[in-house]
Amino acid sequence: MNWTVNRHDLPLSNPFGISRETSETSETVMVEVTHEGTTGIGAVTPSAYYDESAQSVAETLPALCETVDRIGDPHAQQRIERELAEQAPDQPAARMALSIAVHDLAARQLDLPLYRQWGLDPDAVPPTTYTVGIDSPERMAEKAREAANSGFGHLKVKLGTGDDQARLDAVRDAVSDAEIRVDANAAWTTQEAIDNADWLADAGVTMLEQPVAADDIDGLRRVTDATEIPVAADESCVTASDVPRVADACDIVNAKLVKCGGLRPAMRLLNTAEAHGLDSMLGCMVESHASIAAAVHLAPLVDYVDLDGALLLASDPYAGVPLDSDVFDLTAVSAGTGVRRMRDA
């Protein structure tokens, strides 16, 4: 096998704000693995919140690629996942990038789209949300209006400021017909979240994601018990092993490949959530189509999709699964994840 690892700082169309930070670039690491003339493409945008960086991923990936090369068979995915987890247990983002590349490669060698290799239904993909980052109320309303006019009927609004209600009111006034979900990124205390849930419900909010600190499971439970709005755990639920801990404290879990370490771990998380009677969502970072495309193939398994990260970029060297309005069209993928270099698109 041959492989390449490259770093890219991808510019965003607009600064993207959440309660913890505001970003203007997506620090991305991309990996391509070639075997018997076929190339698989993967990527990751690691998060400092989970103690990884583009530098740490770029430094880790060569050794992980050597392990895949030694195994020698991209279809030996159980063994590959096991050995990479043993080799880099605390670096799920690095494992994620290579997981995507290997799955893309194996499916391309079979000349199948990844969802067909898994036997999933392309017509079961829920619509994706479009995320409105924290900004002035006026600018958030403008972004929401632009998204709705582009065909997005479901918006995720980032909150976690000292003036959240004004921001949400501005968005609601701008897009009266859109479904609105809110993500506080762990910014509120339990009491703040319970108090805020009243006006969120009045505004017709249909999901409240990670209202309290990641380790405050009791607080998450109290918020869930206090509101009719479905509550989702994101930062509180990283891998499948976290699902039992949050199962009675939320209604939905948010699976992200960057948190759990790749496609197979994400599928385990989703299956575990289902076994515990929870709904599930697929989420993402602000990241390249080279990451997003792979996650889309898991979308038939979930109740909610939030895979708009590549849409927030000003430029991306890769194209991915096309959108039909706000629904990803998996039937348009001929083989692999559907990711391709822009010059080939």
Q: What is the CATH number of the domain that holds 286?
A: 3.20.20.120
Tell me: pLDDT of 344 over 90. no
Residues 193 and 179 in one domain: yes
Q: Are 46 and 291 a contacting pair, CB within 8 Å?
A: no
Tell me: pLDDT of 33 over 90. yes
Of 97, 83, 85, 79, the residue nearest 32 (C-alpha): 97
Residues 200 and 140 in one domain: yes
What is the number of domains present in the chain? 2
Longest dimension (CA), the chain: 59
Region of 325 (left: φ > 0; alpha: ψ -120 to 50; beta: rest) is left
φ and ψ at 105, to 5 degrees? Answer: -60, -50
What CATH number is attached to the domain comprising 96?
3.30.390.10
54-71 vs 77-87: helix crossing angle, rounded to 10: 130
Residues 142 and 66 in one domain: no
Residues 101 and 133 in one domain: no
Please, which residues have CB within 8 angstroms of residue 314's CB and are 6 or more apart in sequence? 10, 11, 12, 13
With H, G, I as helix, E, B as strand and everything else as coil, classify residue 256: coil
Residues 168 and 294 in one domain: yes
Residues 211 and 145 in one domain: yes
**Enclosing domain of residue 292:** 121-341
Q: Are 339 and 104 a contacting pair, CB within 8 Å?
A: yes
Residues 279 and 167 in one domain: yes
Distance CA 172, CA 16 (A): 19
Residues 126 and 105 in one domain: no
Q: Please state, rounded to an integer, the average pLDDT across all residues of the chain.
A: 97
Residues 201 and 277 in one domain: yes
Tell me: pLDDT of 345 over 60. no
Domain boundary among 100, 116, 132: 116
Please, which residues have CB within 8 angstroms of residue 332's CB and are 6 or more apart in sequence? 321, 322, 338
Of 280, 227, 222, the residue nearest 255 (C-alpha): 280
For the beta carbon of residue 112, count every other beta carbon within 10 angstroms: 16
The side-by-side arrangement of strands in the sheet containing 231-233 is 130-132, 154-158, 179-183, 207-209, 231-233, 252-255, 279-282, 304-305
For the record, the structure tokens of 268 come out as: 């385990």
Share of the chain above pLDDT 70, in %: 99
Q: Say whether pTM exceeds 0.85.
A: yes
Q: Calculate the CA 209 to chain-centre distance.
A: 13
pLDDT tens sequence across 223-278: 999 999 999 999 999 999 999 999 999 999 999 999 999 999 999 999 999 999 99
Per DSSP bridges, beta strands 327-328 and 207-209 are: unpaired
pLDDT tens sequence across 119-174: 999 999 999 999 999 999 999 999 999 999 999 999 999 999 999 999 999 999 99
Residues 171 and 246 in one domain: yes
Residues 24 and 75 in one domain: yes
Residues 174 and 279 in one domain: yes
